[in-house]
Amino acid sequence: MDKFLFLRQALKEPAATLLGNMPVIGENYKKAMKPLDKGLNKSGCIADLLITELEKLPRAQSNAVSCRQTLTALTEKLTHIECSGVPLDNNRMWRRLILSKFPDTMSEKVLSKEERLECKVLS
């Protein structure tokens, strides 16, 4: 009940109107969080914008300085994406997107090393 009371007192318009006339009882806290999250949580939109920014990052040139700058920019974007709630698992989509930001020679080295590691694991 204390959490729900604190929540109602802390909210301002338009969030306060989402709770309507819910009685201040403890079990309503979870019920109150659903419309608030649905109506006000914009993390999905933020994640979409961050992924678009990641896709627009230019490809690194074939030198160490450019690759390092690209890696730094990628790391920043990926950290922001992960903080927005998008899981950064070992998905092929993420690997392809990341590798596409580096020169082909570097991407090919990474992929061949991955293949060798997979072969060792399977044998």
Radius of gyration of the chain (CA): 22
Is residue 123 helix, strand or coil?
A: coil
Tens of pLDDT, residue by residue over 24-83, are 555 655 565 565 555 555 556 777 888 889 999 999 999 999 999 999 999 999 988 888
Residue 87 and residue 103 in contact, taking contact as beta carbons nearer than 8 Å: no
φ, ψ of residue 15 to 5 degrees: the values are -65, -35
Residue 89 tokens read as 């698992």
DSSP string, 1-64: -HHHHHHHHH--TTHHHHTTT----TTHHHHHHHHHHHHH--HHHHHHHHHHHHHHSPPPPSSH
pLDDT band at 117 (very low <50, low <70, confident <90, very high): confident
Q: Output the pLDDT for position 13.
A: 62
Domain ranges for the chain: 2-40, 43-122
